[in-house]
Structure 1
């Protein structure tokens, strides 16, 4: 049922790239050590497990596209209370510049977009960041400059499995539809 619902989400969003839409089979990211906005060390799969998660990659020093991503998650956050869910729904902004995306910078990022308790931020270690970005994107080529990072949103089920990759800068409705579909399973 969830696969049908996920597949029905705005086919227009998937028309431009081959690695978009439903991830079949679902993928579990290798666990990575992260530091969250409070300075606490966490494991990625610990953050994802038992929650339905929309994840985006950002870097807090970005002044161009990342603020649009923050505004996107802010709009999704407003709609989370309307999602009927068996598991909590959360948003996770992952900083991809471990040298600059400190807990203080992550905290300021969340405050800038009035993040509520269901929106978290964390940064992987320098050794884990590229591996994590490659797995999220589903691509094999080397990653470029962080300024060229993806603006996709990645949705995970409550088993910490990557189930959906969006188009670049997806629509709020698409993200909420996928979160809703995952939340009902």
Structure 2
């Protein structure tokens, strides 16, 4: 059945399709960061460590902000990162590390984070981290990704090194191939 709403939706989708394809093939934007190291607990190993100093070190990091109660952005980004893992298989945990940082550390218990990791088939080199509320907010601010409500946090994946002044940012739902390509760009830069 033809409806005016359906026709408008279809026209809008067709008009945006070329722009979506263009955005999906664009290189990641690089923006300055204000990295503030923070103490975190790795949910799977239960180890306490400094995120940048102990976990990232000299590796390329893929940082995402998430919370287990999210039903929109977080599961989608986790699925995209899950699809990226095999594309970086030889580097995961060695020269590349994924860090999914909980933005709801009060409700994201280690058990909830482990379940989320298992649901998204997180492999070696992908860490689900929980820190203090104030430290987590400062860390988010360093990436300009702090929102007044956690439900409104921006869908961003940041890629970089602990010693870099600017990091790449991929917004929305970048394809796993795009995420892997940006990680490889960072690996080539040494």
Same fold per TM (> 0.5)? yes
1 or 2 for the larger relative contact order (CA 8 Å, sep ≥6)?
Answer: 1
Deviations 1:3-39 (A, max 9, x none): xxxxxxx972598xxxx7013xx53511111111132
Deviations 1:112-134 (A, max 9, x none): 11111121110121111211111
Shift of 1:99: 0.3
Secondary structure, aligned partner of 2:115: helix
Secondary structure, aligned partner of 2:72: coil
What stretches of structure 1 move > 4 A for 4+ residues in a row? none
Q: Which runs of 5+ in 2 are unaligned?
A: 1-20
- TM-score, normalisation: structure 1: 0.78
- Please give the residue correspondences for 1:35-114 in structure 2 after superposition, counting only pairs within 5 Å: 35-37=41-43, 38-45=45-52, 46-81=54-89, 88-114=95-121
- TM-score, normalisation: structure 2: 0.76
What do you get for the CA RMSD once the two structures are aligned? Answer: 2.5
Take 1:44 and 1:136, find their aligned partners in 2: how far apart are those partners?
14
- Please give the residue correspondences for 1:148-163 in structure 2 after superposition, counting only pairs within 5 Å: 148-157=152-161, 159=163, 162-163=166-167
CA contact (8 A) 1:28 1:160 kept: no
- How many residues align? The count is 165
Higher normalized helix content (fraction of residues): 2
CA contact (8 A) 1:152 1:170 kept: no
CA contact (8 A) 1:49 1:160 kept: no
Asked if residue 119 in structure 1 is aligned to residue 123 in structure 2, the reply is: no
Shift of 1:109: 1.2
Quickly say closer, same or farther: Cα 1:11–1:163, change in 2 above 3 A: farther
In structure 1, the residue matched to 2:9 is none
In structure 2, the residue matched to 1:179 is 183
